[in-house]
Amino acid sequence: MIIAIDGPAGAGKSTIARSLAKRLGFIYLDTGAIYRALTLKALRKGIDMHDEDRLIQMCRETDLAIDNKEDGSIRVFLDGEDVSELIRSPRITKYVSVLARISGVRAEMLKLQRNIGSSSNSVIDGRDIGTVVFPNADRKFYLDAEFCERVRRRFNELKSAGGTISLEEVEADLRNRDRIDSTRKCAPLRKADDAVYIDTTNMSIEEVLESVLNKIGTINNSRISEAEKIKP
C-alpha cells in the first residue's frame, strides 16, 4: 500500500508522514531528502545550479540510499556518506528548489522513488507524489497551512535545532520555495484531484495524525484488496 502526502514546506508533511509510517509499520520515504542530497553534491562540486546538463549527468553518477531506523528516523546516504544532518542546512534549503525544478533531474529521480516506494508498504511525502510519482497511490493527502503558521513552525524547528536564522530569512526562503515549487513547468506542487485536503493551521500534530488515520480507515477505495488493508 502506498500513502502519498504532498503539500508546501512547513505544512507538517514530514512529521505526519514519519509518525504515520511508524504507527503503521510502513517505510517512510522523504523525497525532499533526495533533492537535498543532490543539491549538496552539486554545491560541493561547484556546479552552476542552472547548468542543467551537468546536473542531470551528476544525478546519473550518484548513488542515493535512504535507511529507515527503528525509532522512525531516516538516514540519507550520498555515494555511501551519511549526509542526514548536512542536507538540512540553510544553504541547501536555499538552493534545493532551483535544482528540483529541472525536469531532467526529476526524470532521473523518478525511478529511484518508485523503486523504494513500491518495495514495501510506504508513506511517501513530497510535492508531486500523488500527481506524478505515484498517481495510483492507495491514499493521497494534501497538507496545507496558512503562510504565517508555516513560517512560524519552520522558524521554531530551526531554532530548536540550534540554528541562528532570523524569522525574516525563514519567511523569504519559504516564499521563494513556494513560488518556485508551485510554478515550475515539471511536476509543480499541486493537490491531486483525488487527494484529501487538510488545513493544519489550527491543528496539533496529534489531531492531524488522527484525522489522517480516520480517513485512511474510512475512504472507500476499491483498489485496496482485503490483504492490503491496514491492520489496527
Please report, as ranges, the residues that interact with ligand DC according to CB under 6 A.
9, 31-32, 35-36, 96-97, 100, 126-129, 177, 181
- Closer to ligand DC by CB, 138 or 154: give it: 154
* Counts of helices then strands in the chain (DSSP H, E): 8, 8
Least Å distance, CB 158 to ligand DC, is 12
Least Å distance, CB 40 to ligand DC, is 12
- Closer to ligand DC by CB, 1 or 10: give it: 10
- Closer to ligand DC by CB, 31 or 122: give it: 31
CB neighbour list of residue 156: distance below 8 Å, 6 or more residues apart:
none
Least Å distance, CB 230 to ligand DC, is 23
Q: How far is CA 221 from CA 131, 139, 194, in A?
A: 17, 8, 11
CA distance 3 to 118: 11
Amino acid at 144: D
Please say whether the beta carbons of 186 and 171 come within 8 A.
Answer: no
CA distance 32 to 127: 8
- Closer to ligand DC by CB, 144 or 181: give it: 181
Least Å distance, CB 31 to ligand DC, is 4
